[in-house]
């Protein structure tokens, strides 16, 4: 009798263990669903941008984070709207325009809050006035480089119609076009500052002076993704916060990651320059703020140059609740 009772207890215990394992298996399958995040292709700032994923911070939170490199943030926006990405990061201008047209896109945080781009020119150019009738390399229409160029021209009292805008993809494409003399100016990242002099190039107007009230990079998701995968969205933002904070306090590791991501030579000065400059001007904010005043400044610029017919209530395209929960999780 005792043997039968013992066997019966063992069977029950076995079933209990089996059920627990099955439940764990289901939970594991759910947590292994990838979170696809679009990010601008790796440049000299890649050590900071990619630390949240490459540093294992998402893994530690149980999030299967997959980064997808994109040529421009305009591609990221299209992929998000098509449901091909759970999130992406880039300039807010495209998201504002898309939302004004009924697109499902929400701003869930921002991290690069100081503009690193500038208007670079050949040495013969001494002022923005000299660019009248000349070509300026920007990215595709509606992207951040174009917005910076038009804002800089407007600030100098130069109508956008008095210059020619050449769409040339990523920073490296625009830089090469400028060096080759295909264009007379280009809006590119400050990562080229350490090497431009030897190419007969100079920075004419730093972006942080031309557009001091702009934010460079925000994080975006759709309301559908937020509703369907809210916990994962919080984990994603928590991983971003932890990774960015780590990157900013571990200079050597961050520079090393940038070199690895870009296959740069060990003596390339750009990764170190970008890191030091970002720290110097407090360009990166690990607490992922959503600076409404800067977003409104960008929207006003979009309206003034005709990219947006009228302003919208930006509060309607912001979801700050995820950020609050994410920062709580990141602090644990």
Residues 168 and 270 in one domain: no
The percent of the chain in helix, strand and coil, each rounded to the nearest 5, is 50, 15, 30
Cβ partners under 8 Å of residue 248, min gap 6: 48, 254, 278, 279, 284, 286
pLDDT at position 20 over 70? no
Of 147, 180, 210, the residue at which a domain comes to its end is 210
Q: Helix or strand or coil: residue 257? A: helix
159, 109: one domain: no
Q: Is residue 223 part of a domain?
A: yes
Residue 27 confidence (pLDDT) above 80: no
Tell me, yes or no, whether 97 lies in a domain. Answer: yes
Say if residue 228 is in the same domain as residue 301.
yes
Instruction: Give percent above pLDDT 70 in the chain.
Output: 91
With contact defined as beta carbons under 8 Å apart, do 85 and 37 qualify?
yes
Residue 149 lies inside a defined structural domain of this protein: yes
In a domain, 174, yes or no: yes
Q: Are residues 199 and 297 in the same domain?
A: no
Q: Which of 327, 310, 261 lies closest to 45, judged by CA?
A: 261
Residue (of 179, 121, 123, 175) closest to 153 by Cα position: 121
Indicate whether 310 pLDDT > 90: yes
CATH code of the domain containing 176: 3.40.190.10
- Does one domain contain both 110 and 248? yes
Mean of the pLDDT values across residues 9-23? 38
Q: State the Cα–Cα distance between residues 251 and 271, nearest whole angstrom.
A: 10
Q: Is residue 51 part of a domain?
A: yes
Burial of 278 (0-12, 13-18, 19+ CB in 10 A): buried
Using 50, 70 and 90 to split pLDDT, how confident is the model at 18? very low
The answer to whether residue 14 sits within a structural domain is no
**Do both 148 and 200 map to the same domain?**
yes
Which residue from 164, 121, 115 is spatially nearest to 144, judged by alpha carbons? Answer: 115
Tell me which residue range forms the domain holding 157.
Answer: 117-210
At residue 14 the predicted structure's pLDDT band, cuts being 50, 70 and 90, is very low
Indicate if the alpha-carbon torsion angle 298, 271, 35, 286 is positive or negative: negative
At residue 164, the 3 state secondary structure works out as: strand
Domain count, the chain: 2
Verify that 222 and 326 share a domain, yes or no. yes
- Tens digits of per-residue pLDDT, 48-106? 999 999 999 999 999 999 999 998 888 999 999 999 999 999 999 999 999 999 999 99
Per-residue model confidence as pLDDT tens digits over 267-289: 999 999 999 999 999 999 999 99
Q: Is the dihedral of CA 40, 44, 45, 51 positive or negative?
A: positive
Judged by DSSP in three states, 229 sits in: coil
CA gap 178, 145 in Å, rounded: 14
Give residue-wise pLDDT tens across range 197-252.
Answer: 999 999 999 988 888 899 999 999 999 999 999 999 999 999 999 999 999 999 99
The last residue of a domain, from among 156, 181, 210:
210
The DSSP symbol for 284 reads B
pLDDT over 90, % of the chain: 81
One domain, residues 104 and 132:
no
Let me know whether 235 and 103 are in one domain: yes
**Sheet of strand 106-112: strand arrangement:** 65-70, 35-40, 87-90, 217-221, 106-112
| 219 bridge partner residues | 89, 109
b/e sequence 128-163, b meaning 16+ C-beta within 10 Å: beebeeebbbbbbebbbbbbbbbbbbbeeebeeeeb
- Average pLDDT (152-181) is 93
Domain presence at residue 13: no
Q: Tell me whether residue 80 is exposed, middle or buried, using C-beta atoms within 10 angstroms of its C-beta: 0 to 12, 13 to 18, 19 or more.
A: buried
Half-sphere exposure of 28 (CA within 13 A, CB side): 6
What pLDDT, on a 0 to 100 scale, did the predictor assign at position 24?
38
Q: Are residues 63 and 98 in the same domain?
A: yes
**Are 268 and 61 a contacting pair, CB within 8 Å?**
no
Look at residue 23 and tell me if it is in a domain: no
15: pLDDT strictly greater than 70: no
What's the CA dihedral at 282, 288, 293, 298 to 10 degrees? 90
Same domain, 327 and 269: yes
- 237 lies in the same domain as 326: yes
Beta strands in 123-263 (DSSP E): 135-138, 164-167, 185-189, 201-206, 217-221
- Indicate the residue among 163, 188, 210 that finishes a domain: 210
CA distances from 156 to 120, 195, 255, 259, 332 (A): 15, 27, 36, 37, 48
Give the model confidence (pLDDT) of 102-131 as tens digits: 999 999 999 999 999 999 999 999 999 999
What pTM did the predictor assign? 0.86
Query: Which pLDDT score, from 0 to 100, does residue 30 have?
Result: 39
């Amino acid at each position: 009798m005792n043997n039968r009772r013992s066997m019966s207890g063992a069977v029950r215990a076995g079933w209990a263990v089996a059920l627990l394992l099955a439940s764990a298996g289901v939970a594991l399958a759910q947590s292994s669903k990838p979170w696809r995040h679009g990010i601008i292709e790796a440049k000299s700032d890649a050590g900071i941008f990619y630390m949240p994923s490459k540093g294992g911070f998402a893994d530690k939170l149980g999030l299967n984070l997959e980064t997808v490199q994109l040529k421009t943030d305009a591609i990221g926006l299209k992929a998000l709207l098509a449901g091909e990405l759970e999130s992406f990061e880039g300039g807010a201008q495209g998201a504002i325009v898309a939302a004004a047209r009924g697109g499902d896109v929400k701003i869930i945080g921002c991290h690069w809050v100081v503009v690193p781009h500038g208007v670079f020119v050949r040495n013969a150019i001494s002022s923005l006035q000299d660019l009248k009738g000349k070509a300026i390399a920007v990215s595709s229409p509606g992207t951040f480089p174009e917005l910076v160029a038009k804002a800089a021209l407007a600030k100098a009292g130069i109508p956008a119609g008095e210059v020619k805008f050449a769409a040339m993809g990523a920073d490296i494409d625009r830089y090469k076009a400028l060096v080759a003399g295909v264009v007379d100016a280009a809006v590119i990242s400050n990562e080229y500052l350490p090497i431009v002099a030897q190419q007969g190039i100079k920075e004419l107007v730093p972006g942080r002076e031309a557009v001091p009230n702009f934010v460079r990079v925000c994080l975006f998701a759709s309301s559908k993704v937020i509703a369907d995968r809210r916990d994962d969205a919080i984990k994603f933002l928590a991983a971003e916060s932890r990774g960015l904070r780590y990157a900013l306090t571990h200079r050597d590791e961050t520079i090393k990651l940038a070199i690895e991501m870009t296959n740069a030579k060990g003596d390339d000065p750009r990764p170190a320059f970008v890191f030091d400059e970002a720290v110097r001007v407090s360009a990166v904010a690990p607490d992922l703020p959503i600076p409404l005043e800067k977003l409104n400044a960008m929207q006003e610029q979009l309206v003034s140059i005709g990219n947006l017919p009228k302003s919208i209530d930006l509060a309607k395209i912001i979801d700050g609740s995820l950020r609050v929960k994410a920062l709580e999780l990141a602090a644990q």
